[in-house]
Structure 1
Amino acid sequence: MQNKSSAGATSDAARQLLHFVTAARLGGRRTFTEGEAITSAGETDDVLHLLLDGAVAEYMGEDGQVVLGLRLPPEPLGLAAVTGEPHWSTAVALSGVVTRAVPVRDVQALAAADPAAGLALLGVTWTRLRRIDRSRVEATITTATQRLARRLLELAPVLGQADPGSGAVRLRFTQSDLAAWAGTTRESVVRALRQLRAAGTASTEHRTVLIHDLDALRLLAG
């Protein structure tokens, strides 16, 4: 399904880039706690992060109004740093996160010295742009309910916790959070959640969504 690509599914290019960086013994490990920003929009940086463990949300807009996607290992974070441009998005740890932080000058030197590494770097950039295009198309041809269902399916295996009482998948997100993830308004999320509750597919508690029927959610996602 299309939601797999927008979820930040690992690409061959990202794996190859991590391989070249690791083989050359470039950079070192850095850790981030839940809620900590790894990159910040508008700021310049001299480090490229390759995600080793954990999950990261990439945001645009003030106060995280739009979520660009879920980033998972071994995705790169902060690609703008390679060209010396300010970051155009903010990457925030959704859990404990470990990255391999590589100085940009080392990445540039590696790409110049090894054409295969240069192609891997080009590949991860192309993959990111393709996902953005797909997200734009998705926003025009799907309903808010479909997009919410897709985002819940993406987030459930990464951040969901089994509810001991009902066996449902529990996700700690507010309605405003879900609106940002689905690229819609909070009012549309309220209507979509009402539809999911009526069908018995999901329910809500304070700042939490409980998914009761993943198969029904997949059908709704399309």
Structure 2
Amino acid sequence: MDQLKSQFPTTAEDIHYYIELIKSKVPTNLNEIQSHFHQHFQNLQNSNYDTIIDDFKNLRINPITITLTLISLTTLFVFGKIIGSSNTSTSTKSTSSNSTKSEEKGVKSTKKPKKRVSKAQKANKEIQEILDYVESEYVPEIDNYIENYKKLSTDDIETKFKYFDEMLLKELMKLDSIDVTGNEILRENRRKVIKFIQDHQNRLDRFKKDITVKANTTAN
């Protein structure tokens, strides 16, 4: 059988040549086809292994060599498809696996370990946030209120005074709730922010007294 395999055409030129020979021997009408098959079966019955080998060696075109050649080519084609499909599937799985691993590594590498915030850092951050909030939200409004109070009615002056006084008191209460026990630096920072807020409370109190005195003097 190995000897038989070695006689099969393997190059593209051999296969093309052999196919052209096969085409020239293919019957073209019904009578020829019937005669062809009848002859084919007779040849199969009368043929032996040595005869088949000899036909392949000499590239003789007959029903047996045609049949075996077509079977061989079909088999090679099918096996080629199967092997190609298997390689493609394996390559796809490998690529997908590598991609998944790369993505996992990428995700892991981009995750930064969370830094633990100490109690002192948290307290200092809260003190600073209160200071920043008062400076940005209330101080400019208080300045504008004191400078332009004459444009306001008496009721509006009183209402705004109470509003600012309450808001500043609220921020002082927040500062009092921050734990600075055992840390003199934080205690000093908190004391400075408290004094800063109290200074603006005192501004409001002096302003209120001044306009009250002016109002009484004008009335008299």
Which bracket does the TM-score occupy, shorter chain normalised? under 0.3
**Which of structures 1 and 2 has the bigger CA Rg?**
2
More strand by share: 1
Instruction: Specify which structure has the bigger relative contact order, considering alpha-carbon pairs within 8 angstroms and separated by 6 or more residues.
Output: 1
More helix by share: 2
Give TM-score, length-normalised by structure 1. Answer: 0.22
